[in-house]
Amino acid sequence: MSVTLLASSAAAIAAAVQNGSATAENMVEASFDRAREVDVGPSGLNCILSADINAARSAASTATKSGALAGVPVVLKDNIATPTLFTSCGSRILEGYISPYEATVARKLREAGAVLVGKSNMDEFAMGSSTEHSAFGTSRNPLDRSRVPGGSSGGSAAAVAAGVVPIALGSETGGSVRQPAAFCGIVGVKPTYGRISRFGLVAFASSLDNIGVFGRTVDDAARTMEVISGDDTALDATSVASAVPKYSGHAGDLKGIVIGKPKEYFPLSLPAATRERTDRAFEALRARGAEIRDVSLPHTDYAIPVYYIIAPAECSANLARFDGVRYGLRIEGEGMRAMYEATRSQGFGAEVTRRILLGTYVLSAGYYDAYYKKAMEVRELIRHDFTKVFAAGVHALFTPTTPTTAFKIGAISDPYEMYLSDIFTVTANLAEVPAMSQPIGRIDGLPIGGQLIAARFDEATMFRIAYALEAELGAEAHV
């Protein structure tokens, strides 16, 4: 029964634990059994970086049986601090590091009865779109192991898609939850900036980072969002003290809802198959009563260059703390400078090094105004595009999550080409608005995702639309 239950939903697991027909211990054993089946070996998914079955059993034995996620096994991305498992950020420079404190989201999950069963693989310090930049090996897509699961939260997405856990947490700076969700055929949610506390999330780019949610279904993601959202201003100054509405359980039609179709997300270069699946989703939304309206976000073309100035600049400042002095890897040299150089050159991988160098350059004397300051000004224009559209009566936008399905491992070697895989997702991070990806069909057997974007702090409307679309698409929405 536990195996069948694990493959169902977070709500079903919690209900079974609450009524006594299953236990949290049963679910932990089932999760570890499934991980051993799919994750290890030369062709394994390599989605879990650290796990401790004894610690998980102990946590399960004391987990509350009345919580919203009672007995639900959960995986956290390896950049979310936990005092029981490593927090390495997929990097050699933090290999084996144990945090002395617990992230707010980890605590909230635990208090809701969820049980941590592992930390997931990721692109090093969340810098990547394929999980090929992890210091601990590439993760694989459960639907085609020759392909990437997306990134940087690819391990979390793969764990959910493979049935190791029904829900998982990742982090988003430019699409690192929505893109792997699309590639793996599951639901991925990025909240409004400030909706979910970032306390305990190892910083990449502080003005862009968000903790996000993966679920097999819209309902899994909605219930998890309800648990981990909310005010945490005592620990995270960017947390917003805004009431958290009910996200789960929405059903019914979309009468009175206006959904925008931004022309910039449907260029002539968009693959025909992606366009066809997205158009089919628009018809499903119309069938539920929604009005579809053509809109424009005119500064969209600037999103990738703006993002790849702001994010590396902030990363270069945040990662300066990893110097071999206080924690993590330390490689001795002849003097302090030599120690710094040896530690950082051997501890950081190529992609992290590239972004630190780029960020340091754009922040340097003589270039700050020309690059970082200008990028922040254009960011405001992108933010204004969204504000204007939503103020005109549009409740949400719908677009493809990614231009294509998951690509082959090793297929993209050019960093700039890899950066372009975030072309439809980075705008939501720049504008600080909520967005999510959900399956809308398959192309040559591989899932393709559709993206909903809503106004700031209007996740409730976003989930209402997502529930309706999932119901209307039926089997296509459950890849």
Q: Enumerate the β-bridge partners of residue 189.
A: 213, 436
Q: Which two tokens stand for residue 352?
A: 């992290």
Q: Assess whether 239 carries a catalytic annotation.
A: no
The DSSP-derived string for 109-166 is: HHHTT-EEEEEE--SGGG--SSS-S-TT----BTTBTTB---SSSHHHHHHHHTTS-S
The catalytic position among 2, 9, 31, 77 is 77
Q: Assess whether 197 carries a catalytic annotation.
A: no
Cis peptide preceding 58, ω within 30 of 0: no
| Phi, psi of 294, rounded to the nearest 5 degrees | -70, 135
Look at the alpha carbons of 105, 106, 112, 114 in this order and tell me if their dihedral is positive or negative.
Answer: positive
Q: Which two tokens stand for residue 83?
A: 């005092």
Q: Assess whether 437 carries a catalytic annotation.
A: no
The catalytic position among 88, 129, 134, 152 is 152
First to last CA, the chain: 23
Contact 156, 120 (CB under 8 A): yes
Residues of 450-477 as b/e, b for ≥16 C-beta within 10 angstroms?
Answer: bbbbbbbbbbbbbbbbbbbbbebbeebb
Task: Give the count of alpha carbons within 13 A of 233, CB side only.
Answer: 4
The catalytic position among 129, 176, 197, 437 is 176
- Taking the C-alpha atoms of residue 372 and residue 316, their distance in angstroms, rounded to an integer, is 12
The DSSP-derived string for 314-359 is: HHHHHGGG-SSSSSS-----SSHHHHHHHHHHHHS-HHHHHHHHHH
Active site residues per annotation = 77, 152, 176
